[in-house]
Chains A and B, each alone.
Chain A
Amino acid sequence: MAEALPSVTIVRRIKASPAKVWAAITRPDQMIQWWGPDAGPTLRADVDVRPGGRFSVVFRLLNGDEHNPTGIYREVIPERKLVFTWDLPGERESLVTFLLEPIDGGTELILLHEHLPDEAERESHEQGWRGLLDKLPRFLGV
C-alpha cells in the first residue's frame, strides 16, 4: 500500500476472519446492520460490488438527518481490499479504502478516507501534507 496522503486512517484488530469482515462490508443484508456514524439506523444499502459497480448507502442519524453517500467501486479484491469513491452532496468526491489483513486470531482492518480521489494527483503529492496536518492542532492551539 502506498502511503499516499491518507486523510483519515483508522486501524482495527478484529476477532473475526477476513471472510467474515469482508461479508460485513460488502453484503447489503449485513451492511445495513452496522453501517452508520452513530446509533441511528441504516436504511438502505444498494451495492454492486465489482469494479465500476455502484455503492449507495442511506443512514439516518440520531438527530433525524438522513444521508446518502454514493460512489463507484474502484477495486475489489475479495477478503483483502475494497476501494470506492465517496460522494455526498455539497462535498467533493473522495476515496475510501478498506484493507483487510489476516492476523493471528482475526483480521487487521485499515480504513483510509482520502480527500484526493485522483490517482495521478495523489501520486504527485507524495508523502504529503500529513506532516503539516499533524502539526496543526498545536498550530491552531486546539
Chain B
Amino acid sequence: MVKYQTSAIDRTFSALADPTRRHILLRLKDEPGLSVSELARPLSLKLPGMMKHLDVLSDAGLITRAKTGRTVSVNLSVGPMREAMEWLKRYERLWTVSLDRLVAFVEKDGE
C-alpha cells in the first residue's frame, strides 16, 4: 500500500522541517536559478550557514546546483516533494475511508 524508500522520504520531510529551508524553496519557486549569495542576502545568513542548508536540501534532492564560472545557481527539483505529497494523499485516503466505515459502524443502531 505505502512503499517508499524510507530514507528518501525521511530526508524530504526533515529538510522541509526548517523555516529557513522552506523560505529558500519558496524563493526558488519564484526566482529559479538564484545564486547562493543572492539567496543568503535577505536571510542575513553567513555563507557557511547557507551552504549547510543547501547541502541538506540537496541531499534530499529538493534542489540542484549548477556552477557557471564562479557563480553557483540553485534550482528547485520537485520530484521528492511529489513523493511527500503522495505519502500524505495515501494516508488521507486510507483514513477517509476507514473513518467513513467507523462512522457508519457507530451510528448504525442510533443513539
Contacts and interface: CB of A to CB of B under 8 A. Distances in A.
Interface of A: 5, 7-8, 10, 12, 14-17, 20-21, 24-25, 30, 33-38, 61, 65, 67, 88, 90-92, 105-106, 109, 111, 113, 115-116, 121, 125, 128-129, 131-133, 135-137, 139-140, 142
Nearest to B17: A125
A65 B9 CA distance: 23
A115 B87 contact: yes
A21 B91 CA distance: 21
Contacts of B51: none
A115 B12 CA distance: 11
B40 to A, nearest CB: 20
B82 interface: yes
Interface string B6-28: 10011001101110001001100
Contacts, number: 112
Given A7-B88, A37-B98, A140-B81, 9 more contacts: A35-B101, A35-B102, A91-B4, A92-B9, A128-B16, A128-B17, A129-B16, A132-B22, A137-B85
Interface residues of B, number: 40
Nearest to A14: B103
A16 B106 contact: yes
A7 B22 CA distance: 16
Interface in B66-111: 78, 81-82, 84-85, 87-88, 91-99, 101-107, 111
21 contacts: A7-B88, A7-B91, A12-B99, A12-B103, A14-B103, A21-B106, A24-B106, A34-B101, A34-B102, A36-B98, A38-B97, A65-B1, A90-B4, A109-B102, A121-B17, A129-B17, A132-B25, A132-B26, A133-B16, A137-B85, A140-B85
Q: Which 9 A-B pairs have the closest CB atoms?
A: A37-B94, A34-B101, A16-B106, A129-B16, A125-B17, A34-B105, A8-B91, A90-B3, A132-B22
Contacts of A137: 85
Contacts of B25: 132
